[in-house]
Structure 1
Amino acid sequence: KNPEGDLTNWRSALVKTESISEVAKKLGYEDYLLMSRGEATSAGRARQLILANSFEAVVGAIYLDQGYDVAKKFITKNLISNLPEIIENKLYIDSKSHFQELAQEKEGITPRYEVVAEEGPDHDKTFTIAVKVGEKEWGKGVGPSKQLAQQAAAEDALKKYQN
């Protein structure tokens, strides 16, 4: 019924770190994790990874303790139940591609990404990137690589575009 590529994209969206960490947050795992003060106050990628890993550890523990069927039930209830939202909101498309589709559809122009700032030493740079459609700036993003900063800029633009 659905093309193979869509199914692969949906699966990827379900199991990516961001999705799994959101499930772990909803289940309250943050309250049970001991973290350094720096990690506890951080909202970044490392924190998401810790939360995602905690969810995966619980799945593994359920499997070892209670078997495949119980683990499958837990995954279905807490993770796979998010699939309709992922499909409806096109969360399986990365932010940059999604914003490009919207900009081309609504404005007839491909967005362009510009480096606004580069900070830090070569081995630990932080990039700030703006995304523009025509001359209008739609969003800004910050990240440890140009690619991640572009994704963050596209996410920011999508939030503004949808409001």
Structure 2
Amino acid sequence: MNETNIPDNLTALETLLQVTFSDRTLLRRAITHHSCCPDTAVHDSYDTLEFLGDAIISAHVVEYIYRTHPDAAEGEMTALKSEVVSRRILAQVGQQLGLFPFIHVDIANLRTFNERSRDSLCADVLEAIVGAIHIDQGTEIARNFVMRTVFPMIELVSTHTLDSNPKGRLQKVILQRTGNLPRYRVLEQSGRHNDRVFLVGVFDHDQLLGTGKASSIKEAGRLAAREALQLLQKKDKRLSANDTTA
């Protein structure tokens, strides 16, 4: 796609971003690849805005993880943050927003261009736009934009992490909170032979944390741990929200 084939519609882009710029040259710069201005790239391309936006997104994501995952270890927080701000996730956010049609890039001057290049451009421009919003509109508006676009990915990535080893993660959480190990107990068993279904509960002492139902005790226990983690996370968020409004 050549730059001349891209509609210069900054108003439509502002509508998409839900942000109105005071200085539209910043927005134009945030969507301009250096292939379009090789001699003036430092001032006219998104490169330095991308550098700023990357740092801003990382800072907001780290704070959000710290506030919403109080029982996570530093290593777990780092792993979650690294995944959320990865090129893959930011490219996905940029593609979902629909940024690519607005990007100014001279494809003829690129060595190669494919789907991976498109994703990389969307990730770059997303970061540059955050940097431009921060300069033009201030910290709060930039944070609100990151909150709308990037924060939902934190929960998706976190849920995937919980799915991978929920029993191990729950054990860490309960040990940190109470010093106890979670205990699993078969609450119900129904069916016969190959049609058996087990209902398993996971407890901290006598407190039921979650339940799971499956055709094997092992899988039912995994589902119980997953539910317990989700319920604990929701409880922590409610407490965090109450502390903020108090």
Given the two structures, how large is their TM-score scaled by the length of structure 2?
Answer: 0.34
Partner of 2:101: 31
Deviation track 1:90-110 (CA, whole Å, cap 9, x = no partner) reads 39xxxxxx7xx9xxxxxxxxx
Question: Secondary structure at the residue paired with 1:88?
Answer: helix
Structure having greater relative contact order (Cα 8 Å, sep ≥ 6): 2
| CA distance in 1: counterparts of 2:133 and 2:158, whole angstroms | 28
Are the equivalent residues in 2 in contact too, given 1:21–1:51 (CA < 8 A)?
yes
The percentage of counterpart residues that share the same residue type is: 24
1:51 offset after TM fit, Å?
1.2
Counterparts of residues 76-87 of structure 1 (less than 5 Å): 76-87=147-158
Are the equivalent residues in 1 in contact too, given 2:100–2:118 (CA < 8 A)?
no
Partner of 1:43: 115
Larger gyration radius, structure 1 or structure 2: 2
| CA distance in 2: counterparts of 1:47 and 1:90, whole angstroms | 27
Are the equivalent residues in 1 in contact too, given 2:95–2:119 (CA < 8 A)?
no
1:57 offset after TM fit, Å?
0.8
Out of 72, 76, 88, the residue aligned to residue 143 of structure 2 is: 72
2:87 is equivalent to residue 17 of structure 1: yes
Deviation track 1:8-48 (CA, whole Å, cap 9, x = no partner) reads 0110011110110111111110111234267896112x332
AA at the equivalent of 1:90: T
| CA distance in 2: counterparts of 1:21 and 1:55, whole angstroms | 8
| CA distance in 2: counterparts of 1:90 and 1:32, whole angstroms | 34
1:89 offset after TM fit, Å?
1.5
AA at the equivalent of 1:15: V
Are the equivalent residues in 2 in contact too, given 1:39–1:47 (CA < 8 A)?
no
Where do 5+ consecutive residues of structure 2 fail to align?
1-70, 166-246
Are the equivalent residues in 1 in contact too, given 2:100–2:121 (CA < 8 A)?
no
2:78 is equivalent to residue 8 of structure 1: yes
